[in-house]
Amino acid sequence: MSTDLSFVTLVANASPLVQLVMAALMLASVISWTMIFDRAKVLRSARKAADHFESRFWSGGDLGELFHEVEGERARKDGMASIFHAGFQEFARLKKNRDIEPMAVVEGARRSMQVAMSREMDRLETHLAFLATVGSTSPYVGLFGTVWGIMNSFHALGSVKQATLSLVAPGIAEALIATAMGLFAAIPAVVAYNRYSNDVERLNGSYEDFLDEFTTILQRQAHV
């Protein structure tokens, strides 16, 4: 007598707790892939926007004109554009007050840029914590389902006089599926998290370099 060990049959015959574990891991995998594609799009757009704005910034044009161009753009101002916009706006506002020292003007502009950069980093890091959680916990969740399934399989052997491989194989197979699904959910999440964390770190470095360079330019203009 042959035993049906197909994936669908094994999942359907698994214990309710193991099925719950499998469903949770499948849901985590679907959400992870959605976030992976979303982060890929966002980070690629952020890198492209940073490169484009840097070329505009260092083209030698007037910073006031660049500010009005950025302010007039309908597209949402993100990345370096938002940092520049926040810094120059605060710089121009503070400089109108003649009672404020030049370095205080620059410091105020720098703080505004740091706030804008912090907001930008929060936007770029969205969902990364979830990917890290899925990558670190999914194997253990799958292992829990496997252990529970194997326990049930061996518990069922206590009610039979003669244990055979065909009797215990389906229970062990359905339990091992939980481990496989845990790895299926964890591996892409870990790879994506490591890749995107590196991309975010590189963008953060670019933003910090721009902030320092722009602050130096504002220091020169503050004394004009």
Contacts of 176 (CB under 8 A, 6+ apart): 146, 149
Among 185, 192, 186, residue whose Cα is nearest residue 36: 192
C-alpha angle 70/74/80, rounded to 5°?
A: 40
Residue 38 — φ and ψ, nearest 5°?
-65, -45
| pTM exceeds 0.85 | no
Instruction: Name the stretches of the chain with pLDDT < 70.
Output: 1-14, 74-77, 156-171, 224
Residue 61 — φ and ψ, nearest 5°?
-75, 170
Q: Where are the domains of the chain?
A: 7-55+62-222
Tokens 């049906």 belong to: 4
pLDDT of residue 164: 60
- 199 Cα distance to chain centroid: 10
pLDDT of residue 7: 56
pLDDT of residue 39: 95
- Taking the C-alpha atoms of residue 106 and residue 113, their distance in angstroms, rounded to an integer, is 11
Angle between helices 79-95 and 16-57 (to 10 degrees): 50
pLDDT of residue 117: 95
As a residue count, the chain comes to 224
The one-letter code for the residue type at 173 is A
* Burial classification of residue 223, based on how many CB atoms lie within 10 Å of its CB (0-12 exposed, 13-18 middle, 19 or more buried): exposed
Tokens 């995107």 belong to: 196
CA distance readout (Å), 143 to 100, 131, 181: 63, 19, 10
Task: Round to the nearest angstrom and report the end-to-end CA distance of the chain.
Answer: 93
* Burial classification of residue 67, based on how many CB atoms lie within 10 Å of its CB (0-12 exposed, 13-18 middle, 19 or more buried): middle
